[in-house]
Amino acid sequence: MNILYKFFSSIVTTVVLLALYASAASVATFIENDFGTSVAKYLVYNSWLFNVLHLFLVINMITAFFKYKMFEPKRLSMFLFHFAFIVIVVGAAITRFISYEGSMHIREGDTSNKILSYISYLQIEINNGEFVYKSETPVNFNAVSGNKFNEDIDFDNEEFSIYLKEVIPNAIEKIVTAENGEPIVVFTFLNNNIKNDVTIKYGEIKWVGDQLFCFGTNPPKNAFYMDYANDTLYFMNDEEVSFSMMRDTVEGKIAAKILNPLLNGFLYTWGTNALVLNRVYPKAKTELRSMGVKSTGGQNALIFDITNNNQTQELLVFGRENYIGKQNRVTSGKYAINISYGSKEIELPFSLKLDDFVLEKYPGSSSPAAYESFVTLTDDRVSKVEQHKIFMNSVL
């Protein structure tokens, strides 16, 4: 015990630990600049070595209290400096291991009680129409991690295997023309006020939100059916569809289960859904391409093999951190299997309202000089309503 005390209270140990800490933080900064935040977290910030380094620094500070008798009034400034460091590290440890963190987006005049988690989750849902199986796993898929995931699920006396076959970082789905290709349709679809940019290939059945799309194959019940023939794209729906020309006053209705042309420049609506055709490729194919590990504009593409009843289906899932994951679905008999990848919304026990946001700029420039937010904090649990001003990056 005496040896450990001498080791941790040594000034040499302090210098070495601080040098290691500064070096690790510097390396993490360069990694984050070149490969992104997720890689820096994986290699440095969330590594067990970095956690041990924090622990050693805290022990070093505590032993310094006794060695240099910092409890005496004349050494109060030294005591406060060391104690503040310990409080910061303990607070960070609580956030890291016990609590959670995320970002809250509030427009001026709006109120929010939800944050978007900094951690990405792989969420799996299996629905048989009566019961639902759900699971979520925190993940960090990036350019340098192993990117492995495999889950065997026993649900409703059925075996399901979810295997992550490949991860393509910062991927985009590129459509290229090909002589031996098939028709591909690109459209924008609004489902329950959620916008989706959809690409569907000939012969494909795809779920977008709670709407099923079918292109060039026998349409299941309640599917929005599309077909391509004689250089024209047709559609048929199980319910009546309203249409309007976006650049004119032309509008009308199309009866259910009637094949009609699907045209550019028209808005098609039914129920809580809206669709706009973007482009039709008569002969094309899709290719997944990575924009490189340094790019920040794309999403990670996850390719899964989903096996049930000795039948394996491939499912492509796009997602990234700081964005809510969108469900992607395949069906196997009576089972609907949904997988999403990305951040998730976390509901808070209090709410914040952004009353006013003030941005000051440098004279003759558009660069911000300072900013401040005026917010109202509401906590119904204790009947609390407080108004606060947050200047720049100050802490509330």
What string of DSSP letters covers 42-69?
A: IIIITSHHHHHHHHHHHHHHHHHHHHTT
* Domain presence at residue 396: no
268 and 224 in contact (C-beta within 8 Å)?
no
Q: Which of 233, 244, 237, 236 is nearest to 186 (CA)?
A: 233
Q: What pLDDT is attached to residue 18?
A: 93
Q: Average pLDDT in the 319-348 region? A: 90
Average pLDDT over the chain, rounded to whole? 90
Is 22's pLDDT higher than 70? yes
Task: Say if residue 307 is in the same domain as residue 181.
Answer: yes
Q: Cα–Cα distances in Å, from 312 out to 142, 302, 305, 375?
A: 26, 16, 6, 52
Q: Rounded CA gap, 30 and 355, in Å?
A: 38
* Domain presence at residue 64: yes
Q: What pLDDT is attached to residue 386?
A: 96
Q: How confident is the model at residue 358 (pLDDT cuts 50, 70, 90)?
A: very high
Under 8 Å CB-to-CB from 259, ≥6 apart: which residues? 227, 234, 235, 236
Strand order of the sheet with strand 102-103? 102-103, 111-117, 345-361, 368-379, 384-391
SS3 87: helix
DSSP bridge pairs for 269: 242, 274
Q: Rounded CA gap, 256 and 106, in Å?
A: 41
Task: Say if residue 65 is in the same domain as residue 198.
Answer: no
Task: Say if residue 302 is in the same domain as residue 356.
Answer: no
Q: What is the CA radius of gyration of the chain?
A: 28
What would the pLDDT profile of 264-278 be if each residue is shown by its tens digit?
999 999 999 999 999
Under 8 Å CB-to-CB from 16, ≥6 apart: which residues? none
Burial of 371 (0-12, 13-18, 19+ CB in 10 A): middle
Domain span including residue 56: 2-97
Q: What pLDDT is attached to residue 26?
A: 95
Task: Say if residue 28 is in the same domain as residue 171.
Answer: no
Q: Rounded CA gap, 396 and 392, in Å?
A: 11
* Domain presence at residue 362: yes
Is 248's pLDDT higher than 80? no
What would the pLDDT profile of 213-231 be if each residue is shown by its tens digit?
999 988 888 899 999 999 9
* Domain presence at residue 103: no
Domain boundary among 307, 327, 342: 342
Task: Say if residue 85 is in the same domain as residue 178.
Answer: no
Q: Rounded CA gap, 313 and 325, in Å?
A: 21
Q: What pLDDT is attached to residue 363?
A: 87
- Mark 145-172 as b/e (b = at least 16 C-beta within 10 Å): eebebeeebebeebebebebeebbbbbb
Q: Which of 348, 349, 346, 309 is nearest to 331 (CA)?
A: 309
Task: Say if residue 93 is in the same domain as residue 174.
Answer: no
DSSP bridge pairs for 317: 302
Q: Cα–Cα distances in Å, from 328 out to 42, 119, 130, 206, 336?
A: 26, 20, 20, 8, 10
Q: What pLDDT is attached to residue 224?
A: 96
Is 299's pLDDT higher than 70? yes
Among the residues of 162-321, which ranges form H helices? none
Is 292's pLDDT higher than 80? no
Task: Say if residue 383 is in the same domain as residue 248.
Answer: no
Number of domains in the chain: 3
Q: How confident is the model at residue 351 (pLDDT cuts 50, 70, 90)?
A: very high
Domain boundary among 309, 326, 342: 342
Q: Rounded CA gap, 257 and 142, in Å?
A: 45
Task: Say if residue 200 is in the same domain as residue 237.
Answer: yes
Task: Say if residue 77 is in the same domain as residue 131.
Answer: no
* Range among 21-25, 103-107, 368-372, 390-394 rated most confident: 21-25
Task: Say if residue 69 is in the same domain as residue 161.
Answer: no
Task: Say if residue 332 is in the same domain as residue 360.
Answer: no
Task: Say if residue 74 is in the same domain as residue 125.
Answer: no
* Domain presence at residue 40: yes
Instruction: Compute, in degrees rounded to 10, the torsion defined by CA atoms 332, 336, 337, 341.
Output: 150
* Domain presence at residue 43: yes
